[in-house]
Amino acid sequence: MLHLRLFRASPKTPSATALLALAFLAGCSGGSTGSGSTPSVTVALSGATTVRLSETTQFAAIVSGSANTAVVWEVNGVAGGSNATGTISSSGLYTAPAAMPGTTSVTVSVVSAASATATATVTESLLNPIAVLSSTTVTQVGSTLSYSIDVIGSNFVSGAVILANGTALTTTYVSSTELQATVNVPSGTTTLTVMVSNPNPGAVNSSALTANLSYVAATPTEAARFLDQTSFGPTAASIAQVQSVGMNAYLMQQFNMPTTVLASIPVSPFPAVCLSSNTAYPCAESEWWTTAITGPDQLRQRVAFALSEMFVVSTQSIPGQAIPQFHNALANDAFGNFATIMKDVTLSPAMGGYLNMMNSAAPAAGQIANENYARENMQLFTIGLYALNQDGTHQLDSMGAPIPSYTQAQVQAFARAYTGWTLANPGGAAVTKFPNNSGDYNDPMVAVAKYHDTTAKTLLNGTVLNAGGTAEQDLDGALGNIFADSNVGPFVCTQLIQHLVTSTPSPAYVSRVAAIFANNGNGVRGDMQAVLRAILMDTEARAGDTNASYNGGHLREPILFMTAMMRALNFTNADPNGAYYNLSNYTTTLGERPYRANSVFNFFPPDYVIPGTTLNAPEFGNENSATSILQLSLADSIVNNKIASFTVDLSNTSALGVMATNPANLTDYLGKVFMHSQMPANMRTTIINAITPLTSNAQRVRVAVYLVITSSQYKIIH
Amino acid sequence: MQLRRRSFIKYASLAAAGNLAGMRPFGALNALAATTPDYKALVCIFLYGGNDANNMVIPTDTAGYGRYSSVRTAGGSSIALAQNTLLGLNGVNYGLHPSLPEIQSLYNSGAAALITNVGTLTQPLTKAQYQAGTANPSNLYSHPDQQEEWQNAAASGVTTTGWAGRVSDVLSGSYNTSATIPMVTSVAGDTLFCNGVSTTPVSVSPGNLGGASCSEGSECSARQTAAQSLITFNSGVSLITADDHITSNAYSYAATLTAATKSVTPLTTVFPATGLGAQLKQISQIIQVRAALGVQRQIFFCGIGNFDTHSNQVALQASLLSQISPAMLAFYNSTTEMGIANQVTSFTMSDFARTFQPNSNTGTDHAWGSHHIVFGGAVKGGSLYGTFPSLVLGGTDDSGTNGRWIPSTGSVQYAATLASWFGVPANQLATVFPNIGTFATANLGFV
């Protein structure tokens, strides 16, 4: 008997051992039997009893008892078989059907041509094919330990399962060439071995593919949005960094990052940067821009910038030398306690000079104490005009009217409490002059006792500073009195939220953050790290990570627009002195120049409402039909490398220029860096269509970047 | 002391006549328009920070000056201006700050008037009423609030509209029917003053009237088309929609203003090279092309800051006033050059005046009632209007003891007078100025 091994040489094929055939005896004349009768014709059949769908197996027939060895092959009684049940050739090569027929086996028969009764039959079991994998894509779901697996290949059968590192997964059958599943992996998993098993009959694992897991702790959208809230603009590198460590770890890194210090500015001679202008403020601006654009302590500097728009000083009326000390204090204190910020601001020569606490003496007969700092410290910096609920809404009196936070008499009491301060002496020598006009702008102010008003002062909430207190005691008493006021949390937190996240926080959001301001969980009031974490990780801050249409955000103010451009497009400084202050000239036309606001009310008021709407959107105070056009012109200068003191490579051979060979690739890259990978489809199409006809890759880059950065979708950080 | 006080009652009959004139307007105006195009402009010059009017208009008679000088000199220092430096005003015993010679000449030639002790009020207010506290303006002495209350001239502190915007709401249907830009133009950013219910202003950056620049040669048009199509997409984000709206207007206004000013011959009037000078020069240029813009009525807003002189007041205020004075004269001269001096009326506003009593830091603090300058060919100039405060600390004009004068004239009356000249009919005044009816007169008669 001939045994034929016809199975494919796959190691995974189960016992396809060929076997016997049954020999049927068949009488040629009605089945009569007996010795000496005509020899009977018999057929023996051999071949494998299992075959996988679409595959072939060879059967062999041996006719005995007749010189005529011809046979006819049938499948389920049909000569030659059919597509549904499989076909069989004249030489006995059976080809299994592509899909499982109603049953999982067929009958293969062979009939002798010499005798129709000489037949042999085998029941052939049909097995599902072995899946063949060609590729697999493994993608992290959000910033979780979940990965979606997409497998491309062939021979997939409904009911097939994906196995990931040996574990069978609930699998979605997409088609015979694609399967999908989701797997949760243990932390630290770096590779995923993917196989597919079709279902029984014949279930067996496919060969394996191995995917490296690119674990990201944040999605591209989360990372870029977070960086728009916590830095001076995302870059490809910073997005990758936040993706790899996640938002929480990035926060911790930034909280621990030391302060980049603005260098102090000598009075004479001026540093080279501001020598030609012969005034100190360009030096201060240059220091500031450099730090904002290149400093590693991005969150610290960004918060300091926000604070500088709340505690406003301006070189329009104070010397530029005062700025480094002031800014460094804000940056150093950004992750400390709000009470420290209050005190450091109060004693800074910058604020002292700007709101005139410096050199404010105890009033003589016929005079009053200077009320400037006393009033604005309460109105603008700490508690605001009206008593607030924790959620930032006004408390109302029995008539439904808001309740003033303080009276004119209290302003005058604080004014007297703040008397007696003047500039320190360089090196710390005791100050006896008042005013000490030749003093030192690099150190906090100092008190000269005899110029302090020592009469009693009645402050907020009935607190009295008794007569006879020193300048230092009264200052601590006054600031402590304000810091303890319940308005401080909602008033300050609302503005921090508006500067970092959204113009229109819900009262609930304000309330959640203000509660943390009141108590960080360990009984500490005013903990800035806790407040910042509460602001940035709030569900309202994060909602846009997964919903590009989430109705929030705030206008990218001119200074933040400029820093974002410098960072994302990788502008480099080309000034012989390394001066950055020329950037100020571009933002000035749009209404902003670092530390040079028109008044203590900042570049825009926190309560600004967009005309014709009810939207409180502070930065829109600078957005109008004039600045809108000027910003278009600025964008044109940016993409055409016309920013004085700076250069950028957007040529054909630049990274973006090379990318521009494929307009979609370029547009998607810009969408990632500038628009949190959330560029709307119609915008994407418009930009691709606009640049595709351009024959210069450099021009494609310029036009594409221009269209992105001038769009309202980009201007509104959302 | 020989004070020349112009009682408003004296002007009541004139005001009534004005109202009558206002009610028979259109036939007469249209007849006039045949030869002289019907055009009027109001120009607001805002002095941000609170100008110390107590050092702007000063009594020059011996008793008055003595009272001024004695209060403003204390603790070994003085912010009083020397009597012999004050600039004389014809016919009255008051003088101007020495940094205002151009204003002096406008006054003495009859083209400027001074309105004294004007301030935010919701109704006429006595000291007793102030102390009772039931009808006081909200947030007195606060910069942003008092700026808003000057600009909105409304019954309550918080509104979303300013009086120029509301004037435009009322008049845009009668005038400017073929205008290609809004009635209100700001050359100093967006302010409450400019916004109405249906009015938003056109903002102009002085010297930058044209459209956005483009370096892409033949591709500029395609780039702009693509950029403009992007602002038509619906985002679902309110702030994006708002910015799309502003940007859309910006494209439109820039195209209009560029076309209108493209071939205009510059005026010969020279403006000072100051921020305010540039703003007023820009206003002049826009007025010059009024026909091309199709406007018959325009309200302009410009401003200058840093009047918040809590310290070093004498030098700071002198520097600021010496900027506004020549800029104002240049602007007036430009309207003369255009032949429309009688059709353009300019006026100052400011947060508040400053304490008459000085502080211990060579400055003054936030106060209330103030003096203001109005100029133009239509102004009944050469006169002081209103009731000059008595300059007595703790006196009947003083809200407390530091010389924060209770205004004797409401800023809403000041505004209503200007609006009436501009063309707001008497029967519409209460629409624009909801609490004007609480005052004895809606027209102070200075224009």
| DSSP string over B100-155 | -HHHHHHHHTTSEEEEEEEE--SS---HHHHHHTSSPPTTTT-HHHHHHHHHH--S
| pLDDT (0 to 100) of residue A16 | 39
pLDDT band of residue A570 (cuts 50, 70, 90) is very high
Residue ranges in A569-662 assigned as alpha helix (H): 582-588, 625-639, 655-659
| 8-state DSSP, A363 | P
Q: Distance from CA of residue A309 to its chain's centroid?
A: 25
Phi, psi torsion values for A81, nearest 5 degrees: 75, -170
Please give, rounded to a whole number of angstroms, the shortest distance from the CA of B141 to a CA of chain A.
8
End-to-end CA distance of chain B: 28
pLDDT, average across residues B365-393: 97
Higher pLDDT, B284 or B15: B284
Q: Does residue A6 carry a pLDDT above 80?
A: no
Q: What's the pLDDT score for residue A14?
A: 40
Closest CA to A595 of A290, A324, A382, A267: A324
Report whether pLDDT(A352) > 90. yes
CA dihedral for A550, A553, A555, A556, sign (positive or negative)? negative
CB A223 within 8 A of CB A234: yes
- The Cα A364–Cα B301 span in angstroms is 41
pLDDT for position A201: 95
Looking at residue B379, what is its pLDDT? 98
Main-chain phi, psi angles of B412, to 5 degrees: -70, -30
Rounded (5°) CA angle B135-B141-B146: 75
Would you say A148 and A139 are in contact if contact means Cβ atoms under 8 Å apart?
Answer: yes
Which of A712, A713, A716, A718 to probe by mutation at the B interface, max B CB count within 10 Å? Answer: A712
Rounded distance between C-alpha atoms, residue A631 and residue A207, angstroms: 58
Chain A: nearest CA to B267, how far in angstroms?
A: 23
Residues A180-189 pLDDT 10s: 999 998 877 8
Any idea where the domains of chain A sit in the sequence? Answer: 24-127, 132-212, 554-717
pLDDT tens digits, one per residue of A426-469: 988 999 999 998 889 999 999 999 999 999 999 999 999 999 99
* Pair of tokens at residue A10: 């796959």
- Residues from chain A contacting residue B311 (CB–CB below 8 Å): 356, 359, 370, 372
- Fold agreement between A24-127 and A132-212: yes
- Interface membership of A199 toward B (CB under 8 Å): no
CB-CB under 8 Å, A419 with B250? no
How far does A162 lie from chain B, in Å, by closest CA?
39
**pLDDT at site A215:** 75
Neighbours of B178 (CB within 10 A): 9
Q: How confident is the model at residue B158 (pLDDT cuts 50, 70, 90)?
A: confident
The single residue listed with the structure tokens 């920070």 is B49
Q: Which of residues 331-370 of A touch B (CB under 8 A)?
A: 355-356, 359-370
Determine which of B239, B241, B248, B323 to mutate to test the interface with A (most A C-beta atoms within 10 Å): B239
Interface of B with A in 2-61 (CB under 8 A): 48-49
- φ, ψ of residue A393 in degrees (nearest 5): -80, 160
* Percentage of chain A exceeding pLDDT 90: 88
Residue A268 predicted with pLDDT over 90: no
Tell which phi-psi region holds residue A233, choosing left (phi > 0), alpha (psi between -120 and 50) or beta: left
Nearest residue on chain A to B194, alpha-carbon basis: A611
Annotate A673-708 with b (16+ C-beta within 10 A) or e (fewer): bbbbbbbbeebbebbbebbeebeebbbbbbbbbbbb
Contact in structure between B412 and B439 (CB atoms under 8 Å): yes
pLDDT tens-digit series, residues A672-712: 999 999 999 999 999 999 999 999 999 999 999 999 999 99
> Residue A25 pLDDT > 70, yes or no?
no
Rounded CA-CA distance A188/A210 in Å is 16
ipTM: 0.89
- Closest Cβ opposite residue A713 in set B208, B235, B311: B235
Residue A38: predicted pLDDT: 59
Report pLDDT for A32. Answer: 39
Task: Name the E strands within B198-281.
Answer: 202-203
The CA distance from B122 to B167, in Å, is 19
Q: Are the C-beta atoms of A447 and A420 separated by less than 8 Å?
A: yes
A476 CA: distance to closest CA in chain B (Å): 22
The answer to whether B414 and B115 have CB atoms below 8 angstroms apart is yes
Helices (H), A614-662: 625-639, 655-659
Q: Which chain B residue shows the shortest CA-CA distance from A610?
A: B242
User: What are the boundaries of each domain within chain B?
Assistant: 9-27+36-280+297-438
Residue A525 above 70 pLDDT? Answer: yes
Interface size between A and B, measured as CB pairs under 8 A: 243
**CB–CB contact A615 B238 (8 Å):** yes
Q: Could you tell me which chain B residue has the CA closest to the CA of A640?
A: B215
Q: How far is A206 from chain B (nearest CA, A)?
A: 47
φ, ψ of residue B44 to 5 degrees: the values are -95, 125
Query: Chain B partners of A712 at a C-beta cutoff of 8 Å?
Result: 230-231, 235, 240-241, 243-244, 247
Q: State yes or no: pLDDT of A29 exceeds 70.
A: no
Residues B84-107, mean pLDDT to the nearest whole number: 98
Helix (H) or strand (E) holding B63: helix B62-71
The CATH fold of domain A132-212: Immunoglobulin-like (2.60.40)
> Which of these, A712, A673, A669, A714, lies nearest to A688 by C-alpha position?
A669
* pLDDT (average), residues B296-310: 97
Does the beta carbon of A457 lie under 8 angstroms from any beta carbon of chain B?
Answer: no
Tell me: pLDDT of B9 over 50: no
| Cβ-Cβ contacts under 8 Å, B76 against chain A | 364
Torsion angle, CA of A9/A11/A14/A20, rounded to 10 degrees? 30
Q: What average pLDDT does range B142-164 have in this prediction? A: 90
What confidence tens digit (pLDDT) does each residue in A33-73 have? 444 455 689 999 999 999 999 999 999 999 999 999 999 99
In the block, residue with structure tokens 């910038």: A305
Most B CBs within 10 A among A629, A667, A691, hence the mutation to make, goes to A629
Contacts of B253 in chain A (CB under 8 A): 625
Partner residue facing B246 (CB), from A360, A628, A694:
A628
Dump pLDDT digits (tens) for B223-264. Answer: 999 999 999 998 899 999 999 999 999 999 999 999 999 989
Per the prediction, chain A carries an average pLDDT of: 93
Minimal-distance CA residue of chain A relative to B48? A599
Mean pLDDT estimate for chain B = 91
Contact A174, A180 (CB under 8 A): yes
Q: Do residues A152 and A178 make contact, with C-beta atoms less than 8 angstroms apart?
A: yes
Residues 6+ positions from B395 with CB-CB distance below 8 Å? none
In the stretch 633-662 of chain A, residues with CB closer than 8 A to chain B read 633, 636-637, 640, 642
Please give the backbone phi and psi of residue B161, each rounded to the nearest 5 degrees, phi first.
Answer: -130, 155
Question: What are the chain A neighbours of B236 within 8 Å (beta carbons)?
Answer: 549, 551
* pLDDT of residue A482 exceeding 80: yes
A710, two tokens: 């001038």
How are beta strands A119-127 and A132-140 bridged, if at all? unpaired
Report the pLDDT value the prediction gives residue A39, as an integer from 0 to 100.
Answer: 65
Asked if B85 reaches chain A (Cβ–Cβ under 8 Å), the answer is no
Q: How far is B154 from chain A (nearest CA, A)?
A: 17
Q: How far is CA A677 from each of CA A224, A239, A622, B170, B232, rounded to the nearest angstrom?
A: 8, 11, 27, 47, 21
Beta bridge partners of B44: B301, B347
In residues, how long is chain B?
447
The reply to whether residue A699 touches residue B141, judged by beta carbons under 8 angstroms, is no
Nearest by CB to B306, from A316, A365, A627: name it: A316
Q: Which residue out of A354, A380, A451, A624 would a mutagenesis test of the B interface target, given it has the greatest number of B Cβ atoms within 10 Å?
A: A624
Residues of chain A positioned with their CB less than 8 A from the CB of B218:
none
- pLDDT tens figures, A579-618: 999 999 999 999 999 999 999 999 999 999 998 889 999 9
pLDDT band at A27 (very low <50, low <70, confident <90, very high): very low
Q: Are strands A50-52 and A119-127 parallel, antiparallel or unpaired?
A: parallel
How many angstroms away from the CA of A412 is the closest CA of chain B? Answer: 10
A364, B237: Cβ pair inside 8 Å?
no
Cα pseudo-dihedral B411, B415, B420, B426, rounded to 10: -60
Alpha-carbon distance B142 to B149, whole Å? 10
Residue B54 structure tokens: 């107590």
Distance between CA atoms of residues A708 and A687, nearest Å: 8
What integer pLDDT is reported at residue A37 of this predicted model?
A: 53
Alpha-carbon gap, residue B404 to B90, rounded angstroms: 28
Pairing label, strands A191-197, A161-164: antiparallel
How far does the CA of residue A516 sit from the closest CA of chain B (Å)?
28
Burial of A397 by CB count in 10 Å (0-12 exposed, 13-18 middle, 19+ buried)? Answer: exposed
Q: What is the CA radius of gyration of chain A?
A: 40
Rounded CA-CA distance B408/B387 in Å is: 6
Q: Which two tokens stand for residue A526?
A: 């005013």
Q: Phi, psi at residue B9, to the nearest 5°?
A: -60, -35
Q: Directed axis angle between helix A488-500 and helix A528-537, to 10°?
A: 50
Contacts of residue A523, defined as CB under 8 A and 6 or more positions apart, other chains included, come to: none
Q: Which residue, among B190, B202, B216, B252, would best test binding to A if mutated, counting the most A CBs under 10 Å from its CB?
A: B190
The pLDDT value recorded for residue B154 is 85
List the single range of A169-178, A181-190, B124-133, B321-330 with lowest mean pLDDT: A181-190
The pLDDT value given to residue A220: 94
What gap in Å lies between CA A702 and CA A689, rounded to an integer? 14
- Determine how many CB atoms are found less than 10 A away from the CB of residue A489: 26
pLDDT at A438: 85
Flag whether pLDDT at B162 surpasses 80.
yes
Contact B190 A629 (CB under 8 A): no
B275 at A interface, C-beta within 8 A: no
CATH for A24-127 (3.40.50.720, 3.40.50.300, 2.60.40.10, 2.60.120.380): 2.60.40.10
Q: How many CA atoms lie within 13 A of A141 on its CB side?
A: 11
